[in-house]
Amino acid sequence: MAGLNLTNVAKSYGDVDVLKDINLDIEAGELIVFVGPSGCGKSTLLRMIAGLEKITAGELQIDGLVVNDVPPAQRGIAMVFQSYALYPHMTVRDNMAFALKLAKLSKQEIDDAVNKAADILQLTPYLDRLPKALSGGQRQRVAIGRCIVRDPKVFLFDEPLSNLDAALRVATRLEIAQLKESMPDRTMIYVTHDQVEAMTLATRIVVLANKGISQVGTPLDLYERPENEFVAQFIGSPAMNLFPGEITETGEQTRIALEGGHGSILSAYPSTEADKGGKVNVGIRPEDLQLTDDAENSFTGTVNVQENLGEVTLLFFNPDKEGVDPVIAKLPGIHRGLKGETLNLTANPGKVHVFMDGKSMLYR
Amino acid sequence: MHPALQGLITIIIGVGGCVGYFFFSNYLLDKFLLPARAMTAEQTALRRSLGTIFLFAVPALLVLALYVTAIGVGSIASAGGMFWLLVAVGLIFGLWRLKDFVFASGPTTAGHNISHANMIRPWLFLAPAILALGLYLTYPVFETLRLSLVQRNGGVGFGNYTFMFGEQKFWEAMRNNMLWLIVVPAMSTVFGLLAAQLTDRISWGSIAKMMIFMPMAISMVGASVIWKLIYESRPVDVEQIGILNAVWVAMGGEPQQWLTLPVWNNFFLMIVLVWIQTGFAMVILSAALRGIPEETVEAAIVDGANPFQIFFKIKVPQIMPTIVVVWTTITLVVLKVFDIVFTMTNGQWGTQVLANYMYDKLFRANDWGTGSAAAMIIMLLVTPILVWNVRNARKEMR
């Protein structure tokens, strides 16, 4: 129903740039998730879309109309705040009806909308309670209900699950996914720092870093084909291992000699003759590393710490030098007594990412 | 001796006395009465007999001696003698129980001594305050009640009250007090709320706040003098030194004796108290406004509320408990208002209030009965509001 277009959108406080040159097209009906490290400006961007922060440069269109100077209430958006921001002095019913009362709807219309939303969110028994008499999850649902009754074009969620405990977080995440499914034509924008939420909910993920957009893509796109080292390490847990190395063979596939005499490794990334001898970083996800007997073309290291999680075993290898992150391997199943062992690791060439100057060689 | 030096000595004695009392009462409790160590049965028995002498026998004899010298054995049969005898017996009984509480029989543990010491400690610290409050607050209340019931002719009854209720000046004071009660808390709270909200949004807000708060630091008498100058009047042909008349004359009016204009002069007096109390309301309400979660305001903006709706439907309801506390606190001040009326009009020209009426009766007419009756009426009006206020303040704290 309503798409959003951000063109060169920027935010600065005085001389300090917080965000710059944000270009993003959001299709109607998408669930877009903004992720990024804390302080990357993801909440600020959401609040700019909501109209709570001024857009200092660029243009924001909702449904084809420029809304830079349109007050929040007339943008056709509704927002769920991190702390829920329920009005503490109003009952659940009044909380949900507040916007409609301000819009001067008839009593009948208001009652219908509130009852319908309460029905969807299973809040009917609590309609006459004050927010303080509700649990965290129920408050969260009231906050969502307050959005639903207004029937907005765009839903905005600002870290809505961060105040819930772990079990409730999973349940509410599913509820939000179902809510989205029941309203396929509504656009939703969701801010989180939790990559599990991002991966499970998003149609497309927007990774924000360094005052701008690092990559936009479907969750699996970001996982399988990260555009740069930042996205590669941000998506996935534990983070992707990076090995410095040098290109030795080019062509359809690329062979890279790992620094520090760790052997060489083959990647399915294509390269040209000119790349030969280029300094690159090889990225391999912990879960893509496999044990091998081949001591030649593999990474060799000594296990420093072993963590047994049952379903997987995490191995932390001694770093080459001080201050470097240890290489981590995630092996499926249970492996006993690997601590102190020297092991050889390799990976399927298709799972070996190559980054030159921080950028993936796939996207050159 | 120089008065400043006297003042300084008073401060030193007062503060030193407080510190000394704290130190020595702790010392006595922890070293002699209930030392924090275990004791055998023999030790406690010895301590018990010593305690009976020093904690019971000596003070009890002192009380008795005091009774005999102050009241005299001869007047034991009179009502006063009986009363004080009961008090003395009560005190001696209390000492006996205290001795039993402090000096247990049989072996004791360190924990027993520490816990008993900690039960006594708060009472020990509170004792001076309780005694002082009892002497200067509780006793006068009952004495005033007694005085209000003793009539001119020496009989006991409600004669003072009926006389007072028959006086036109009393009803004028009642009416004015009610007027004050409605106008001053309302105006102060509203102005305070406005000032709190508006000063939060401007860059020189803290300076503005300071200026508005400043009258709080001036005594009521000082404020009255300032405002008396504002209302000052000079004959037509002389330049006006009161700013109100200066403005009034500049606008083409005749100079007015503002404080003698019936009914209006009440409001001119009220303005003084509003001027003082607005600062108080502003400071408390400003803190409350800052306590409102910013996100609820933002949610209201997204919901489409305009600034007025945000203020009246989101902010004010959230700080309602604080507004009530501020309102009732100012109400209490208003019920007791005395200084302003006393210094500016002394209750003339129809500006009498209860407290000033009481003062007139007590200290000008030397009519103790009627004055005390007026005092009782003021207390009767204040008490329910005070109770309610304390309850609200407690609820706020929770």
Q: Domain B163-397 falls in which CATH fold?
A: MetI-like fold (1.10.3720)
> Is B293 part of the contact surface with chain A (CB cutoff 8 Å)?
yes
pLDDT digits (tens, 9 = 90+) for B169-181: 888 888 888 888 8
Give the pLDDT of residue B7: 92
Tokens matching residue A132: 């303080």
Rounded mean pLDDT, B253-281: 84
CA B395 to chain centre: 20
Query: Is the CB of residue A297 less than 8 Å from the CB of residue A245?
Result: no
CATH 2.40.50.140 in chain A, residue ranges: 241-363
What residues 317-346 of chain B have any CB closer than 8 A to a CB of chain A? 317-318, 320
Task: Name the DSSP class of A293.
Answer: S
> Is B383 part of the contact surface with chain A (CB cutoff 8 Å)?
no
Look up the ipTM and state it: 0.81
How far apart are the C-alpha atoms of A70 and A66, rounded to whole Å? 8
> Is B109 part of the contact surface with chain A (CB cutoff 8 Å)?
no
> Is B195 part of the contact surface with chain A (CB cutoff 8 Å)?
no
User: Rounded to a whole number, what is the distance in Å from the CA of B212 to chain A's nearest CA?
Assistant: 30
Give the pLDDT of residue B20: 92
- The H or E element spanning position A362 is none
pLDDT band at B8 (very low <50, low <70, confident <90, very high): very high
Question: Which of A74, A84, A102 is the closest to B309 by Cβ?
Answer: A102
Rounded mean pLDDT, B67-75: 78
pLDDT band at B267 (very low <50, low <70, confident <90, very high): confident
Chain B neighbors of A89, CB-CB under 8 A: 317-318, 320
Three-state DSSP state, B346:
coil
pLDDT band at B190 (very low <50, low <70, confident <90, very high): very high
Query: Is the CB of residue A229 less than 8 Å from the CB of residue A248?
Result: no
How far apart are the C-alpha atoms of B222 and B63, rounded to whole Å? 47
* Higher pLDDT pick, B275 / A319: B275
Give the pLDDT of residue B15: 94
Chain B neighbors of A102, CB-CB under 8 A: 303-305, 309
Give the pLDDT of residue A262: 67
CB contact burial B308-329 (16+ within 10 A = b; e otherwise): ebbbebbbbebbeebbbbbbbb
DSSP H helices, chain A, are: 42-50, 92-102, 107-120, 136-148, 166-182, 195-201, 219-224, 229-234
Binary contact (B303, A83; C-beta < 8 A): no
Binary contact (B295, A74; C-beta < 8 A): no
Q: What's the whole-number average pLDDT of chain B?
A: 85
Size of interface A-B (CB pairs under 8 A): 63
Q: How many helices (H) and strands (E) does chain B have?
A: 19, 0
Three-point CA angle A162, A164, A168, nearest 5°: 125
Binary contact (B295, A85; C-beta < 8 A): yes
How far apart are the C-alpha atoms of B382 and B384, rounded to whole Å? 6
CB within 8 Å of B316: residues ≥ 6 apart:
B193, B323
CATH 3.40.50.300 in chain A, residue ranges: 4-234
Residue of chain A with shortest Cα separation from B320: A89
Binary contact (A146, B320; C-beta < 8 A): no
Q: What is the pTM of this model?
A: 0.72
The answer on pLDDT for B16 being more than 90 is yes
CA A150 to chain centre: 27
CATH 3.30.1280.10 given to domain A4-234? no
Chain B neighbors of A74, CB-CB under 8 A: 304
Residue type, B205: G
Class of domain A241-363: mainly beta
CB within 8 Å of B218: residues ≥ 6 apart:
B226, B276
| pLDDT tens for the 364 residues of chain A, in order | 578 888 888 888 888 888 888 888 888 888 899 998 888 888 888 888 888 888 888 888 888 888 888 888 888 888 988 888 889 889 888 888 888 888 888 889 888 888 888 888 888 888 888 888 888 888 888 888 888 888 888 889 988 888 888 888 888 888 888 888 888 888 899 998 888 888 888 889 999 888 888 889 998 988 888 888 888 888 888 888 888 888 888 888 888 888 766 677 888 888 888 888 888 888 889 998 888 887 777 777 888 888 888 888 998 888 766 667 788 889 888 888 888 888 888 888 888 888 888 888 887 7
